[in-house]
């Protein structure tokens, strides 16, 4: 079957035009006009991902984070450029699904809410039409630190960063969440009445501003978006059965998280 058939079905579920302005989405490397046997789903494309794709004879990678995220000045075989050169050499196409999978209903932010038992959700920050990025909803009333421990456990983390004055005994019941690096939406979390905002990569000064404005936050890191891998693979397997696709679907097992904590 053609790679284009798979992507046509994917885009029926998660259209590119849901992406935020200036975002990178769609085909980034290779061609969709080719026969494929193996599809891999990955969060990132790094050296480990490419080696894995070559070893598994992958024809198409569906990835959340674009491998080319700033303009290339050359294709000299530097360590970074070798990632792209190896993909081209082995005819591995790369299709990117970034903020559109964050925005689409039954997408990444909704999957986060399911894992954390966040109910009665609505959009955190509208984008266009009736769509938006992030979610806000309710949880059973509980103390902040207990909920933070749940976040740590659900995402199998070695730690979470908490934005809070210590000690805090505040009860929380309304939670906003947006995967990736979404600190810029914290004012939307405040407007939505959230007690706590979950997102990655919170800056020092932004954390101070959050506290001044009365908002607690949990930073579980950017890498919790790895949930993309299993959930998109699950959808592909469902469509495989429905459409009788003759392809194999594999989930990347490469660890591309650049951080760990002592």
Give 189-238 pLDDT, tens digit per residue: 999 999 999 999 999 999 999 999 999 999 999 999 999 999 999 999 99
222 assigned binding-site residue:
yes
120 assigned binding-site residue:
no
Is residue 242 located within the same domain as residue 190? Answer: no
188 assigned binding-site residue:
no
Is residue 82 located within the same domain as residue 110? Answer: no
Is residue 92 located within the same domain as residue 116? Answer: no
Give 108-154 pLDDT, tens digit per residue: 999 999 999 999 999 999 998 999 999 999 999 999 999 999 999 99
Is residue 183 located within the same domain as residue 201? Answer: yes
Residue 257: inside a domain, yes or no?
Answer: no
Is residue 18 located within the same domain as residue 54? Answer: yes
Is residue 74 located within the same domain as residue 118? Answer: no
In the structure encoding, which two tokens stand for residue 131, read together? 């769509």
106 assigned binding-site residue:
no
* Element of type H or E holding 112: helix 108-116
Residue 260: inside a domain, yes or no?
Answer: no
Give 70-106 pLDDT, tens digit per residue: 889 999 999 999 999 999 999 999 999 999 999 999 9
Residue 115: inside a domain, yes or no?
Answer: yes
Give 142-194 pLDDT, tens digit per residue: 999 999 999 999 999 999 999 999 878 889 999 999 999 999 999 999 999 99
Is residue 187 located within the same domain as residue 130? Answer: yes
Residue 256: inside a domain, yes or no?
Answer: no
Q: Rounded distance, CA 181 to CA 219, Å?
A: 9
Q: Is 251 helix (H, G, I), strand (E, B) or coil?
A: strand
CATH number of residue 156's parent domain: 3.40.1390.30
Domain containing residue 212: 105-219
Domain count, the chain: 2
For the chain, the C-alpha Rg in angstroms (whole number) is 19
Is residue 84 located within the same domain as residue 110? Answer: no
Q: Tell me the CA end-to-end span of the chain in Å, nearest whole number.
A: 47
Is residue 150 located within the same domain as residue 88? Answer: no
């Amino acid at each position: 079957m053609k790679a284009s058939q798979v992507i046509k079905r994917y885009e029926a579920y998660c259209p590119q035009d849901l992406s935020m302005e200036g975002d990178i989405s769609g085909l980034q490397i290779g061609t969709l006009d080719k026969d494929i046997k193996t599809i891999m789903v990955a969060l990132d494309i790094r050296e480990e991902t490419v080696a894995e794709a070559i070893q598994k004879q992958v024809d198409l990678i569906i990835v959340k984070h674009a491998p080319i995220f700033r303009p290339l000045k050359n294709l000299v075989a530097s360590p970074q450029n070798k990632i792209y050169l190896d993909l081209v050499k082995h005819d591995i196409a790369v299709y990117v699904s970034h903020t559109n999978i964050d925005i689409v209903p039954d997408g990444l932010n909704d999957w986060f809410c399911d894992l954390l038992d966040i109910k009665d959700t609505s959009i955190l920050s509208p984008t266009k039409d009736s769509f938006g990025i992030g979610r806000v909803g309710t949880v059973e009333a509980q103390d902040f630190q207990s909920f933070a421990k749940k976040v740590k456990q659900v995402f199998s983390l070695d730690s979470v960063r908490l934005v809070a004055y210590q000690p805090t005994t505040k009860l929380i019941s309304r939670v906003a969440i947006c995967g990736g690096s979404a600190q810029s939406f914290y004012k939307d979390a405040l407007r939505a009445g959230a007690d706590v905002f979950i997102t990655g990569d919170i800056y020092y000064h932004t954390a101070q501003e959050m506290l001044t404005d009365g908002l607690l936050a949990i930073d579980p890191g950017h890498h919790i978006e790895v949930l993309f891998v299993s959930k998109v693979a699950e959808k592909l397997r469902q469509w495989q059965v429905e459409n009788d696709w003759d392809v194999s679907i594999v989930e990347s097992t490469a660890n591309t998280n650049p951080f760990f904590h002592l």
